[in-house]
């Protein structure tokens, strides 16, 4: 029996993760999926493989990841290092993917996070034939986006705001 992940699921899961893990309030944004970022941006990508195959992406500004790194690794020690910032991106990406994995059912596992950073325009993340559900959020005056990408061989969702995933035994 397939499971449908809705835009509301993405919002609830993301808000829960950021509030419980980081004690930060996030607010879903309407409008463009990926707000234009200032300066350097980070992307954390975690593959989910097994009964469902795809990827969870977390994209955010360097400033937001510095805030997250301070909370996770150095709340009283000042400015986090570049390695702290990348590690924080890996941690929050992994937590996000693990929580999505729990919604999928069946036997799945997550990869280690792949972290990239860039200052140029957003790269195309997935081929046109992949099902993509994305939601932008605001936190501490910065924006970030959570994107769920299904491989083309998975069942397709019923619309742009949902993805249907098969469950396995």
Task: Give 10-residue mean pLDDT values along the chain (169 residues).
Answer: 75 96 94 60 92 91 92 80 91 95 87 84 52 86 90 52 41
Q: In Å, what is the CA distance from 89 to each residue of 83, 114, 123, 167?
A: 10, 9, 18, 29
| pLDDT attached to residue 28 | 95
Where are the alpha helices (H) located in 23-155, listed in sequence order?
Answer: 62-73, 82-104
Q: In Å, what is the CA distance from 139 to each residue of 2, 22, 135?
A: 32, 11, 13
| pLDDT attached to residue 131 | 63
Q: In Å, what is the CA distance from 33 to each residue of 8, 123, 128, 146, 157?
A: 15, 13, 16, 9, 18
| pLDDT attached to residue 10 | 92
| pLDDT attached to residue 116 | 92
Contact 124, 33 (CB under 8 A): no
Q: Rounded to an integer, what distance in angstroms lies between the CA atom of residue 165 and that of residue 53? A: 9
| pLDDT attached to residue 6 | 82
- The structural domains of the chain, ordered by start, are 3-165 (3.40.1550.10)
Cα–Cα nearest to 116, from 125, 108, 107:
125
Q: Rounded to an integer, what distance in angstroms lies between the CA atom of residue 54 and that of residue 46? A: 9
| pLDDT attached to residue 168 | 40
> pLDDT, tens digit, for every residue of 108-124?
999 999 999 876 455 44
| pLDDT attached to residue 45 | 95
Neighbours of 27 (CB within 10 A): 11
**Mean pLDDT across the chain:** 80
| pLDDT attached to residue 57 | 93
């Amino acid at each position: 029996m397939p499971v449908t992940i809705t835009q509301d699921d993405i919002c609830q899961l993301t808000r829960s993760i950021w509030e419980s893990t980081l004690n930060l309030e996030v607010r879903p944004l309407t409008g463009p999926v990926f707000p234009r970022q200032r300066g350097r941006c980070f992307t954390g990508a975690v593959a989910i493989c097994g009964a469902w195959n795809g990827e969870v992406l977390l994209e955010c500004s360097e400033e937001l990841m510095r805030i997250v790194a301070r909370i996770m690794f150095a709340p009283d020690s000042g400015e986090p290092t570049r390695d702290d910032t990348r590690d924080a991106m890996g941690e929050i990406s992994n937590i996000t993917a693990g929580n999505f994995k729990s919604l999928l059912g069946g036997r799945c596992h997550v990869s280690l996070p792949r972290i990239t950073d860039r200052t140029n325009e957003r790269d195309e993340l997935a081929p046109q034939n992949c099902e993509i559900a994305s939601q932008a959020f605001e936190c501490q005056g910065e924006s970030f986006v959570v994107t769920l990408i299904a491989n083309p061989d998975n069942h397709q969702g019923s619309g742009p705001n949902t993805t249907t995933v098969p469950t396995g035994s």
